C-alpha cells in the first residue's frame, strides 16, 4: 500500500500541511508570518480539491481551485494593505501590540 | 516510480513548511514558503492538472510571494502623496465603468439577445464537447466559460474591488 500512491496519500499530506499552517497561525506573533501560514492552509485545501478531482474524475475540483487561487490573490492584496496600515499606526507588526480594543 | 516522486516532494514540502513556521526572519520564511509552493505545483502535475500547476507557480510563487517580499522589505514606507482629484469627475467615471461591467456581465450570461453575430449561445454550445482526448486546458476552459460563467464574471469584479480596496486602505489622508 505504501508504494502505490492513492487518494489517501494526498489527503494525508494535505492534512499535515493544514496542521502546520494552523500551528503557524496559533503560535507566531509576527502578522506577516501568520498571513503566510494562512496561505499554506489555503494551498493544502487546493491540494485536497485537485486530488479529489483526479480520483473521482470530476473537473469541478480543479475549477474550484481556480477560484480559490483568485480569492487568495485578492485576499493577499487587501490583507497586506491592512498590515501596512497597522504598521503605520503602531510602528510594528507584532500582534501582541495591537490591543487597542482590549477592555 | 511515482512513489519516489511523491514521497520525495512530500518530504520537501513538509520540511520546508515546518521551517517556514519556525524561522524568526520573515524573509527566510517567505523563501521556504516559495519552495513549498513549487512542491505543490509538482503534485498538481502528478494529479493531471498541468494548467493548475502553471497557475500555482505564476500566481502563488510569482505574484503573491513577491508581494509578501515587497511588503516585508518595505515596511518603513515613505509617505506617498496622491494629487487631488475632482470628486464629481470621479463619480461620473465610476458610473461609466460600472455600466461597462454590467454590460459585459449581462452579455456573458444572456442567451444570445445581445449578440450581433450568427447563431445563439445554444447553437455554439452544441459544437463544444468535453471528450476523452481533450487536453487539460480545453477541459478547464470549456467548463469554466459555460457552466461557471457567473462565478467567473463575479470573480473579475471581485478582483477589481480588491485592488481598489488595497489602494484606498494605504492612502494617506489628504
Of residues A94 and B166, more confidently modeled: B166
The rounded distance, in Å, linking the Cα atoms of A80 and B130 is 40
The reported pLDDT for the residue numbered B90 is 73
Q: Which of B47, B77, B144 sits opposite A66 (nearest CB)?
A: B144
The reported pLDDT for the residue numbered A17 is 95
User: A94: which strand partners?
Assistant: A30
Q: How far is B26 from chain A (nearest CA, A)?
A: 6
The yes-or-no verdict on residue A51 having pLDDT over 60 is yes
Please answer whether residues B159 and A73 qualify as being in contact, where contact means their C-beta atoms are separated by less than 8 angstroms.
Answer: yes
Q: Which of B30, B52, B163 sits opposite A62 (nearest CB)?
A: B52
The yes-or-no verdict on residue B163 having pLDDT over 90 is yes
Answer whether A77 sits within 8 Å of B163, measured CB to CB.
yes
Q: A74-89 pLDDT, tens per residue?
A: 999 999 999 999 998 8
How far is C-alpha B93 from the chain's CA centre? 26
Q: pLDDT grade, residue B86 (50/70/90)? A: low
ipTM over 0.85 threshold: yes
**Percent of chain A at pLDDT exceeding 90:** 60
Q: Note which residues in 33-52 of chain B have CB less than 8 A from chain A.
A: 33, 36-37, 40, 43-44, 46-49, 52
Question: Taking chain B, what is the end-to-end CA distance rounded to the nearest angstrom?
Answer: 62
**Residue appearing with cell numbers 501568520:** A34
The rounded distance, in Å, linking the Cα atoms of A95 and A32 is 10
Q: Which chain B residues are Cβ-neighbours of A42 within 8 angstroms?
A: none
Amino acid at each position: 500500500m505504501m508504494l502505490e500512491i492513492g487518494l489517501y496519500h494526498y489527503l494525508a499530506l494535505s492534512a499535515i500541511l493544514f496542521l502546520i499552517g494552523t500551528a503557524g497561525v496559533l503560535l507566531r506573533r509576527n502578522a506577516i508570518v501568520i498571513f503566510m501560514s494562512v496561505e499554506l492552509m489555503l494551498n493544502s485545501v487546493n491540494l485536497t480539491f485537485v486530488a479529489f478531482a483526479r480520483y473521482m474524475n470530476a473537473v469541478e475540483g480543479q475549477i474550484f481551485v481556480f477560484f480559490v487561487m483568485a480569492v487568495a490573490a485578492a485576499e493577499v492584496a487587501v490583507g497586506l494593505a491592512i498590515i501596512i496600515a497597522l504598521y503605520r499606526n503602531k510602528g510594528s507588526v507584532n500582534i501582541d501590540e495591537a490591543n487597542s480594543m482590549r477592555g | 516510480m511515482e512513489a519516489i516522486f511523491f514521497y520525495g516532494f512530500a518530504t520537501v514540502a513538509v520540511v520546508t513548511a515546518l521551517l517556514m513556521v519556525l524561522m524568526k526572519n520573515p524573509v527566510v520564511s517567505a523563501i521556504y514558503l516559495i519552495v513549498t509552493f513549487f512542491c505543490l505545483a509538482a503534485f498538481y502535475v502528478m494529479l493531471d492538472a498541468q494548467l493548475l500547476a502553471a497557475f500555482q507557480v505564476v500566481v502563488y510563487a510569482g505574484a503573491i510571494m513577491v508581494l509578501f517580499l515587497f511588503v516585508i522589505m518595505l515596511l518603513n514606507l515613505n509617505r506617498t502623496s496622491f494629487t487631488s482629484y475632482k470628486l464629481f469627475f470621479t463619480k461620473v467615471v465610476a458610473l461609466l465603468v460600472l455600466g461597462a461591467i454590467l454590460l459585459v456581465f449581462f452579455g456573458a450570461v444572456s442567451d444570445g439577445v445581445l449578440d450581433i453575430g450568427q447563431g445563439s449561445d445554444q447553437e455554439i454550445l452544441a459544437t463544444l464537447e468535453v471528450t476523452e482526448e481533450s487536453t487539460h486546458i480545453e477541459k478547464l476552459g470549456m467548463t469554466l466559460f459555460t457552466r461557471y460563467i457567473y462565478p467567473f464574471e463575479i470573480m473579475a469584479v471581485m478582483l477589481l474591488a480588491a485592488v481598489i480596496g488595497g489602494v484606498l486602505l494605504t492612502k494617506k489622508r489628504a
